[in-house]
Structure 1
């Protein structure tokens, strides 16, 4: 079983500059690899019912896949020596990210659902890089040793339980600083109980008047964190719109707006975790309706639906139920 713990990083000023530099270079490489795939795709596709009589014949070359793009990395370090300062597996993870993004566009995910056309990322939208493998003992006290970067201070607000093994490490830049995400493998997850107490089974119905109502009639009030923060967000948003584009004052206002939105998201996430814990402390099986949240988010109820965050809550509920050896699923699986 995989789980993730997130911690706040406390890098020095010099380390912040280096982290920003890494993200900038990785963003450029991501856009370059994505452009290479788009070039091949546009030059080699031709609809059967709309083939032009006169067309450009490109130079024949193999489809750039994960392995062929990965082989270009040694040459990249020769032509652009500054990429040698980044850990090799971090750059390889960028190739994998491009592959996953493009495959979802052409083939779809495991359920056959295709995503939209991938977009090139501007510098502010490329915020994460990942170490696919780390050595044992990389986390020592409140310091984590990142290969080819050095030791960075971590705020360990909770200890990693015994028996958990760190598999991957991700560094993410958010509005209020850098965060460390540890992907942990736990081999001691309890098996799902074969027999359940009939009195310990319930169904929940989510809504906009009440966040959820159980089959026993218990209700949980909807907090509406975004609605309550709208007045403050409106003030900060006006401050951003009045600043001159490209100025330092606008950059500061954008950062302040990001912090306000992050505060709302953190409150909502905390509410979801506490509600899921409350349900799992009382019931062994929790069934819910199969919601089309994306469809509801396109209606006039979009703001209220997104403020409730049903998809996030149901995902958290299913994950925590699996960790606890219980069942949280839609009514289709029962």
Structure 2
């Protein structure tokens, strides 16, 4: 089995390299639009019937011309390169990937029935791909990109042992002022799916508390966008007063883009830290969401369309769920989703149904007398449903006596007493250890 992952690194090209990469992006954008134009012209020429034409206008194209598919446009690209020096400056595999990128979008459109490929305007084509490398392009603190040269890179983490670099995508951010590379690595490795085990917790998300766990842990919702909204409003007002196509307008655009980039990075960093904290506390984590059937799935996009849409988008519930799933897989924890219906209207102790509105934030059961925070009670329901879904494998592990007596609830219960270097070993690490043991 082949395992593929992406690692993202910041790069620091010099002025000449940055100018070359921006020129490549514009050339790729024009090539993408040109191929899309040929595809749309062919489709428009086949819209009307054979015996009649449109009243206004009609595209006339010979019926012998076949559909401009990936192979035909790739052959046409070779002819274009003979007469156009801009295409000759770009690496050949990069231009081929542009054609492939368009037809991947076309195939996705045919499968979904929506999302027809659109023309790219200036600045909207933000990445290009080197799909293969014969040798390792990484040096000590540099990466070697074909036709661009050695570029300084912040290699904040090494490529794992046993993985090979298959492709490198160069990404432009903040109006071409920040650059990143997304390195695709592969290895012939089989990582088994994690079975439910150990200590289980349920998670409930909300706008008052971003997160509430079945253990009683509540994390207030940070206002990533709200805290910087005043500064963003000021920068956008200054941008609106600048004259377009002048240098001051471009400088103001960069300031706005950098602030948006900072907000997004702050939100993602916070989500990742919370995900690792949750993996330290439990072995099996249950949430409401995406893997469920459509009739019981919770769609956060619907929340974003209401009067609390700005706050829902600022919290980033969907991104947090995806990042938590990734961190659980990486660290060998079990992650699963359950039905969300009725989680806030049921008592976790006796199952009694109640219909109090959202303004009542404290749950008190009239049947059994159970009393707790409403979000925590909902998280307990989610945990109970997860345990019911996997009844045979989930069980509590016995804690060491010193951990129980200390009263520490935010430690890794399953690995209490172990050295820090042994806690939470990733699944990839264990898989490589097994492979090395078999080889020995």
Q: Normalising to structure 2: TM-score of the pair? A: 0.69
Is the 8 Å Cα contact of residues 171 and 180 (structure 2) preserved in structure 1? Answer: yes
Q: CA deviation at 1:189?
A: 6.7
Change (3 A) 1:284 1:188: farther
Higher mean displacement: 276-285 or 155-164: 155-164
Higher mean displacement: 251-260 or 166-175: 166-175
Counterpart check, 1:95 vs 2:99: yes
User: Partners in 2 of 1:311 and 1:212 — Cα distance?
Assistant: 13
Is the 8 Å Cα contact of residues 191 and 325 (structure 1) preserved in structure 2? Answer: no
User: Partners in 1 of 2:246 and 2:85 — Cα distance?
Assistant: 32
Is the 8 Å Cα contact of residues 194 and 329 (structure 2) preserved in structure 1? Answer: no
- Find the counterpart in structure 2 of residue 67 from structure 1: 71
Change (3 A) 1:210 1:62: same
After TM superposition, the runs of 4+ consecutive aligned structure 1 residues lying more than 6 A away are none
SS at match of 1:21: helix
SS at match of 1:162: coil
- Find the counterpart in structure 1 of residue 238 from structure 2: 239
User: Partners in 1 of 2:251 and 2:151 — Cα distance?
Assistant: 25
User: Partners in 2 of 1:187 and 1:219 — Cα distance?
Assistant: 41
Change (3 A) 1:186 1:313: farther
Aligned residue pairs: how many? 324
Q: 1:83 aligns with which of 62, 78, 87?
A: 87
Is the 8 Å Cα contact of residues 196 and 334 (structure 2) preserved in structure 1? Answer: no
Larger radius of gyration: 2
Q: CA deviation at 1:311?
A: 1.5
SS at match of 1:71: helix
SS at match of 1:124: coil
User: Partners in 2 of 1:318 and 1:293 — Cα distance?
Assistant: 16
Q: CA deviation at 1:119?
A: 1.8
Per-residue CA shift, 1:21-55, capped at 9, x if unaligned? 111101100111111122222222469xxx99534
- Find the counterpart in structure 1 of residue 21 from structure 2: 19
User: Partners in 1 of 2:42 and 2:231 — Cα distance?
Assistant: 47
Q: CA deviation at 1:283?
A: 1.9
- Find the counterpart in structure 2 of residue 179 from structure 1: 180
SS at match of 1:122: coil
Q: 1:31 aligns with which of 30, 33, 51?
A: 33
Change (3 A) 1:311 1:186: farther
Is the 8 Å Cα contact of residues 3 and 186 (structure 1) preserved in structure 2? Answer: no
Is the 8 Å Cα contact of residues 143 and 151 (structure 1) preserved in structure 2? Answer: yes
Higher mean displacement: 212-221 or 255-264: 212-221
Is the 8 Å Cα contact of residues 204 and 212 (structure 2) preserved in structure 1? Answer: yes
Mark the runs of 5 or more structure 1 residues left unpaired by the alignment: 109-113
Q: CA deviation at 1:106?
A: 2.5
SS at match of 2:123: helix
Counterpart check, 1:315 vs 2:322: yes
User: Partners in 2 of 1:71 and 1:107 — Cα distance?
Assistant: 25
Q: CA deviation at 1:183?
A: 1.6
Higher mean displacement: 302-311 or 58-67: 58-67
- Find the counterpart in structure 2 of residue 111 from structure 1: none
Q: CA deviation at 1:242?
A: 0.7
The structure that is helix-richer by fraction is 1
User: Partners in 2 of 1:34 and 1:16 — Cα distance?
Assistant: 27
SS at match of 1:243: coil
User: Partners in 1 of 2:133 and 2:328 — Cα distance?
Assistant: 28
Q: Normalising to structure 1: TM-score of the pair? A: 0.90
Is the 8 Å Cα contact of residues 132 and 167 (structure 1) preserved in structure 2? Answer: yes
SS at match of 2:45: helix
Is the 8 Å Cα contact of residues 285 and 327 (structure 1) preserved in structure 2? Answer: yes
User: Partners in 1 of 2:117 and 2:251 — Cα distance?
Assistant: 29
Higher mean displacement: 8-17 or 152-161: 152-161
Is the 8 Å Cα contact of residues 9 and 179 (structure 1) preserved in structure 2? Answer: yes
Q: CA deviation at 1:20?
A: 0.9
- Find the counterpart in structure 1 of residue 285 from structure 2: 286
> Please, what is the CA RMSD of the aligned residues?
2.1
